[in-house]
Amino acid sequence: MTTTAFLRQAALVLAVGFCTVTSALADTTLLNVSYDPTRELYQDINRSFGAEWKAKTGETVKISQSHGGSGAQARSVIDGLEADVVTLALAYDIDAIASKAGLLSPDWQARLPYQSAPYTSTIVFLVRKGNPKQIKDWDDVARPGIQVITPNPKTSGGARWNYLAAWGYALNKYDRDEAKARQFLAALFKNVPVFDSGARGATTTFVQRGLGDVLLAWENEAILAVEELGKGQFEIVVPSMSILAEPPVAVVDKVVDKHGTRAVAEAYLRYLYSPDGQEIGARHHYRPRDPAVAARHAAEFPAVKLFTVEALGGWQKAQTTHFNDGGVFDQIVGGAKP
Amino acid sequence: MAVAAVAVAGSQRHRALSEPRWVRWLLTGLALATFGLFLLLPLLTVFGEALAKGVSSYWAALSDEDALAAVRLTLLVAGITVPLNVVFGVIAAWCVAKFDFAGKSVLISLIDLPFSVSPVISGLIYVLLFGLQGLLGPWLAALGIKIIFAVPGLVLATLFVTFPYVARELIPLMEEQGTEEEEAAVVLGASGWRVFWRVTLPNIKWGLLYGVLLCNARAMGEFGAVSVVSGHIRGQTTTMPLQVEILYNEYNFVAAFAIASVLAMLALVTLAVKSALEWRFSKEIAGMGH
Amino acid sequence: MSAAKSSVIPGFGPTLGFTLFYLGLVVLIPLAALLLRAAGLGWGQFVDAAFSARVLAAYRLSFGGALLAAAANVGAGLLVAWVLVRYEFPGRKLVDALVDLPFALPTAVAGIALTAIYAPNGPLGRLLLQAGIKVAFTPLGVVVAMVFIGFPFVVRTVQPVLQDLEVEHEEAAVSLGANRLQVFGRVILPAILPALLTGFALAFARALGEYGSVIFIAGNMPGLSEIAPLLIVTKLEQYDYAGATAIAAVMLVAAFTLLLLINTLQKWRHARLHGG
């Protein structure tokens, strides 16, 4: 008696709703695998592109989004996540999809204008209101006594852009003397009290936890943080020189051929270059490529001397010399340890 | 045996056995302080953030379409994994606690093993097995079977992570209880099944309940392992914990903590279930005059 | 194999068979895939990946932190379980229910909430900072997160055993003139010791592998507050699956050895006590 009653009750506990997960079936479905800071951007792009595609072809297209750290997302695609298009933080990650899984051709970057990067950004500083520590340029960030918040370059794509921006500045300052540039970076990273694993985690540490004097961040992220998290509490400081961050996009050949979605996937990425797509990008604080759109938003994006990753030898070299185990970054933070 | 009996009938008897009042108060105070510091404070933080912009934003966050899809997916995954691990747990505990055999410690340690495997690795092992670059991946792809980045992968990762809970809850309890009652029943001619239903199960019901509740809580709350095999497709392969992360990263703190608060309220479901069972049993026991 | 102890009870063969089958399917085969990948490395590469100075520092933090956290959980867990089973106080049922919270709360949420509480600008962090104690973004923060996620284990393993404890034994001891402390030491503690040890082992094991909650509160400074699972993730970030599995394999073997030790100890004790 006791037992059966108990079992009946237990069965009730176990019978958590056995619902099925239904996915709304549209005519065509695309999966866009992207990195963290593009969520808001692609929400708008997807809506607007969907409307345009419907008007043009009569076909309804539903675009699913997946976001995460750029490297982790690339790994998921390599391991079988069927992304029709990838829109990641660095070319290195899409290169990995091409080289490790052969899902797209190695010359993918030549297939779309501007090395397949429809919008750009750069690395800027977010400081507290009134800039109490007077942080104006990279030299101030590396000054003793300043607390710098940046995520871990080993786990975050955004942090690698931060690192390379500082590296490029230092190389320029010390006339390409790598030993001195190293010292500069060692001083900078000595100022870092916390390594968050991702860019948005670092922003939260700076904004919500009140830690640090300056946050190194993508320009679009810094503007978003000011707007969303604390109007009037923070200021953006643009350094004299920074890196041209070019987040690339690509169609994943093997997947679109399997899904039969090549036409719409290619149209989707080309839409990013169209005046409408560029305008949406600019509204989400990405620097547009289209000169007309750029002129309209010139006030938001202060002129800054920019250099590219290619000027530093390209991603492959940057990754192996700086970020791999035992690389320059490991040597620097190993030495900076208290 | 019956806790309820102790609670109902034993309060006078208990007094003679209890500690002095000041010790009771001190211990209770210490326990409550621990509880407040480690459990209540985080819980209040979660609810505080969830309700930071009022009840209406809280409800709006919970009735969002993607949030509901995440709830359905989480219930589905827990609904598959918990019963499987309960069946395993009871059988394994029976085998380990009622018999002596060589290699028993090894077996128990192997059952414990998933606890110590980092959630990152618990997900990765399935990627290594079923991923496109994995051992079975190309073969599965040829057959058009999707395991990771789909529901089966989520179920497998959750199964792995919650594997030991029921078994480990029952083993020490059943070992402590020994085998005398079962042996007596067998000697009196009861079949194995009957012994289990009539003798063992009533004895282990509370341990079993805790095991099920822990297993279920972890199945619904698991983040790390599931994150590796999910693919993070919004509205399709995101469970509740993953949806929390998505929303948090969108700076949508209210919605993120709203969903987290629903998971936290699972603990309150525990309360309801336990109270219901206690009430039920206390009535039965009183009726039987036990 | 022989079921030496109690051959009258049926079901040894089928239950052992099923246990081994399910264990193999869910745990052993996937873990074998992991070891296989790690074994793909040469010995030199394996040592480089799994025993570099930085990884060793991370092991120290992970194992040391997990041991401390498990020990703290034995104390706190026994206290809470005892009070829940033995005493009546307002809100007892609520406390009882909320014990499971650390499992239900996604680890990332736990990490965020704990960081918010213990950060220098958090409610507790501010107080502790005045006392000169920094919690968030230090190794201490790692231990706090580990205590939190392992909290339910000891409570929930000890609780049913305490509930089942025959009051008669205690009564007998009392009538023989034992005081309360002696009753606890001689009658209660031996009975709940296996459960305590199990809870310790489980809390330790869980804390060892934890990633989600620790990562928010640790600060992740290399060599100082970097846990071993984080290094696994950084290896993966470099597409170095073999290196990642090497670290994982070392942790796995170490954890298994420790669990085996505890479980053997228990079996030995059990046999001695019950005259096996």
Write down the pLDDT at residue C267: 78
Task: Give the list of residues 6+ apart from residue A146 with CB closer than 8 angstroms, or none.
Answer: A133, A135, A140, A191, A213, A214
Q: Does one domain contain both C170 and C114?
A: yes
Q: Does one domain contain both C54 and C34?
A: no
Q: SS3 of C56, please?
A: helix
> How many helical (H) and strand (E) elements, i.e. helices and strands, does chain A have?
16, 11
Q: Does one domain contain both C99 and C208?
A: yes
Confirm if B260 and C106 have CB atoms less than 8 A apart. yes
Task: For residues B259 and B269, give the distance between their C-alpha atoms in angstroms, rounded to a whole number.
Answer: 16
Residue with tokens 């509901």: B68
Confirm if B146 and C237 have CB atoms less than 8 A apart. no
> How many helical (H) and strand (E) elements, i.e. helices and strands, does chain C have?
15, 0
- Is B28 in contact with C89 (Cβ distance < 8 A)? yes
Of B133, B208, B277, the CB nearest to A78: B133
Write down the pLDDT at residue A338: 36
- Tokens linked to C71: 């020990």
- Is B171 in contact with C198 (Cβ distance < 8 A)? yes
| Residue in A closest to B80 by C-alpha | A18
Asked if C13 has any chain B CB less than 8 Å from its own CB, the reply is no
Higher-confidence residue of B206 and A321: namely A321
Tell me: the pLDDT tens digits for B168-190? 889 988 888 888 888 899 888 88
pLDDT surpassing 50 at residue B221: yes
Asked whether residue C25 is assigned to any structural domain, the reply reads yes
Of A9, A20, A39, the CB nearest to B277: A9
Q: Does one domain contain both C54 and C36?
A: no
- Tokens linked to C181: 């402390």
Interface of C with B in 22-81 (CB under 8 A): 22-23, 26-31, 33-34, 36-37, 76, 79-80
- Is C120 in contact with A196 (Cβ distance < 8 A)? no
A311 DSSP assignment: G
- Is A197 in contact with C120 (Cβ distance < 8 A)? no
Q: Is A223 exposed, middle or buried (0-12, 13-18, 19+ CB in 10 A)?
A: buried
Q: C162 contacts in B (CB within 8 Å)?
A: none
| Residue in A closest to B253 by C-alpha | A229
Q: A152 contacts in C (CB within 8 Å)?
A: 220, 234
- Tokens linked to B228: 């590796």
Tell me: the pLDDT tens digits for B49-95? 999 999 999 999 999 999 999 999 999 999 999 999 999 999 999 99
- Is C106 in contact with B120 (Cβ distance < 8 A)? no
- Tokens linked to A329: 């970054």
Asked whether residue C263 is assigned to any structural domain, the reply reads yes
Question: Which of C5, C19, C133 is the best substitution to test chain B (most B C-beta atoms within 10 A)?
Answer: C19
pLDDT surpassing 80 at residue A293: yes
Element (H, E) at A124: strand A119-128
Write down the pLDDT at residue B267: 67
Q: Does one domain contain both C161 and C227?
A: yes
- Is A16 in contact with B127 (Cβ distance < 8 A)? no
At CA C15, angle to CA C14 and CA C19, rounded to 5? 120
Of B82, B132, B216, the CB nearest to A80: B132
Task: For residues B89 and B216, give the distance between their C-alpha atoms in angstroms, rounded to a whole number.
Answer: 13
- Is A197 in contact with C116 (Cβ distance < 8 A)? no
Task: For residues B179 and C209, give the distance between their C-alpha atoms in angstroms, rounded to a whole number.
Answer: 35
Binding partners of B (≥3 Cβ pairs within 8 A): A, C
For residue B112, how many C-alpha atoms fall within 13 Å in the half-sphere facing its CB?
Answer: 34
Asked whether residue C79 is assigned to any structural domain, the reply reads yes
What is the arithmetic mean of pLDDT over A123-149?
95
- DSSP string of A164-182, one letter each residue: HHHHHHHHHHTTT-HHHHH
Task: For residues C11 and B191, give the distance between their C-alpha atoms in angstroms, rounded to a whole number.
Answer: 10
Please give, rounded to a whole number of angstroms, the shortest distance from the CA of C54 to a CA of chain A: 9
Asked whether residue C5 is assigned to any structural domain, the reply reads no
Write down the pLDDT at residue A232: 86
- Is C2 in contact with B101 (Cβ distance < 8 A)? yes
Q: If we measure between CA atoms, which residue out of A114, A113, A94, A112 comes closest to residue A104?
A: A94
Please give, rounded to a whole number of angstroms, the shortest distance from the CA of A19 to a CA of chain B: 6
Write down the pLDDT at residue B134: 87
Exposure string of A248-281, with b = 16+ CB inside 10 Å and e = fewer, is: bbbbbbebbeebebeebbbbbbebbbbebbbbbb
Q: B1 contacts in C (CB within 8 Å)?
A: 164
Q: Does one domain contain both C55 and C95?
A: yes
Q: Does one domain contain both C97 and C217?
A: yes
Tell me: the pLDDT tens digits for C209-218? 888 889 889 8
- Is B104 in contact with C82 (Cβ distance < 8 A)? no
**Residue C275 — pLDDT band, cuts 50, 70, 90?**
low
**Where residue C233 sits, what CATH number does that domain have?**
1.10.3720.10
A42: left (phi over 0), alpha (psi -120 to 50) or beta: alpha
Tell me: the pLDDT tens digits for C133-172? 999 899 999 999 999 999 998 998 899 888 888 778 888 8
pLDDT surpassing 70 at residue B13: no
Count the Cβ atoms, other than its own, within 10 Å of residue A111.
16
Interface of C with B in 127-166 (CB under 8 A): 147-148, 151-152, 156-157, 159-161, 163-164
- Is C10 in contact with B173 (Cβ distance < 8 A)? no
Task: For residues C150 and A264, give the distance between their C-alpha atoms in angstroms, rounded to a whole number.
Answer: 49
Q: Does one domain contain both C36 and C157?
A: no
What does chain A come to in residues? 338
| Residue in A closest to C212 by C-alpha | A197
Binding partners of A (≥3 Cβ pairs within 8 A): B, C
Please give, rounded to a whole number of angstroms, the shortest distance from the CA of A136 to a CA of chain B: 27
Of B198, B249, B273, the CB nearest to A13: B273
Tell me: the pLDDT tens digits for A104-130? 999 999 999 999 999 999 999 999 999
Does the predicted interface ipTM exceed a cut of 0.90? no
Asked whether residue C196 is assigned to any structural domain, the reply reads yes
Q: Does one domain contain both C231 and C96?
A: yes
Task: For residues C106 and B100, give the distance between their C-alpha atoms in angstroms, rounded to a whole number.
Answer: 38
Asked whether residue C187 is assigned to any structural domain, the reply reads yes
- For chain C, what is the mean pLDDT? 87
- Tokens linked to B29: 């105070």
Domain of C27 in residue numbering reads as 11-40
- Is C120 in contact with A210 (Cβ distance < 8 A)? yes
- Is B131 in contact with A40 (Cβ distance < 8 A)? no
Looking at chain C, the whole-number percentage of residues with pLDDT higher than 90 is 36
- Is B176 in contact with C194 (Cβ distance < 8 A)? yes
Q: A81 contacts in B (CB within 8 Å)?
A: 149, 231
Residue with tokens 């005059």: B289
Write down the pLDDT at residue B11: 44
Q: Does one domain contain both C108 and C138?
A: yes
Task: For residues B221 and C105, give the distance between their C-alpha atoms in angstroms, rounded to a whole number.
Answer: 5
Higher-confidence residue of B273 and A172: namely A172
Question: Which of B46, B74, B121, B132 is the best substitution to test chain C (most C C-beta atoms within 10 A)?
Answer: B121
Q: If we measure between CA atoms, which residue out of B29, B3, B213 comes closest to residue C100?
A: B213
- Tokens linked to A124: 């800027």
Tell me: the pLDDT tens digits for A302-325? 999 999 999 999 999 999 999 988
Q: SS3 of C194, please?
A: helix
- For chain A, what is the mean pLDDT? 89
Q: Does one domain contain both C112 and C24?
A: no
Write down the pLDDT at residue B8: 40
Asked whether residue C209 is assigned to any structural domain, the reply reads yes
- Is B195 in contact with C79 (Cβ distance < 8 A)? no
Of A100, A195, A197, the CB nearest to C239: A100
Instruction: Report the 3 state secondary structure along chain B.
Output: CCHHHHHHHCHHHHHHHCCCHHHHHHHHHHHHHHHHHHHHHHHHHHHHHHCCCCHHHHHHHHCCHHHHHHHHHHHHHHHHHHHHHHHHHHHHHHHHHHCCCCCHHHHHHHHHHHHHCCHHHHHHHHHHHHCCCCCCHHHHHHHCCCCCCCHHHHHHHHHHHHCCHHHHHHHHHHHHHCCHHHHHHHHCCCCHHHHHHHHHHHHHHHHHHHHHHHHHHHHHHCCHHHHHHHCCECCCCCCHHHHHHHHHHCCCHHHHHHHHHHHHCHHHHHHHHHHHHHHHHHHHHHHHCC
pLDDT surpassing 60 at residue A6: no
How many domains would you assign to chain C? 2
Across A13-22, A135-144, B239-248, C28-37, the highest mean pLDDT is recorded for A135-144
pTM of the entire structure? Answer: 0.86
Please give, rounded to a whole number of angstroms, the shortest distance from the CA of C275 to a CA of chain A: 31
- For chain B, what is the mean pLDDT? 85
Q: B77 contacts in C (CB within 8 Å)?
A: none
Task: For residues C270 and C56, give the distance between their C-alpha atoms in angstroms, rounded to a whole number.
Answer: 36
| Residue in A closest to C116 by C-alpha | A209
Q: Does one domain contain both C136 and C195?
A: yes
Asked whether residue C258 is assigned to any structural domain, the reply reads yes
Of C104, C110, C276, the CB nearest to B220: C104
Q: If we measure between CA atoms, which residue out of C241, C240, C244, C242 comes closest to residue C230?
A: C244
For residue A122, what are the β-bridge partners?
A244
Tell me: the pLDDT tens digits for A64-77? 999 988 888 999 99
Q: B79 contacts in A (CB within 8 Å)?
A: 14-18
Of B76, B130, B276, the CB nearest to A18: B76
Task: For residues C181 and B274, give the distance between their C-alpha atoms in angstroms, rounded to a whole number.
Answer: 31
What is the arithmetic mean of pLDDT over B252-273?
84
Tell me: the pLDDT tens digits for B89-138? 999 999 998 888 888 889 999 998 898 888 888 999 999 999 998 888 88
> Using beta carbons and an 8 Å cutoff, which residues of A are at the interface with B?
1-3, 5-7, 9-10, 13-21, 23, 31, 36, 39-40, 64-68, 73, 76, 78-82, 100-101, 198, 200, 224-225, 228-229
Please give, rounded to a whole number of angstroms, the shortest distance from the CA of A330 to a CA of chain B: 23
Write down the pLDDT at residue A264: 96
Write down the pLDDT at residue C56: 93
Element (H, E) at A121: strand A119-128
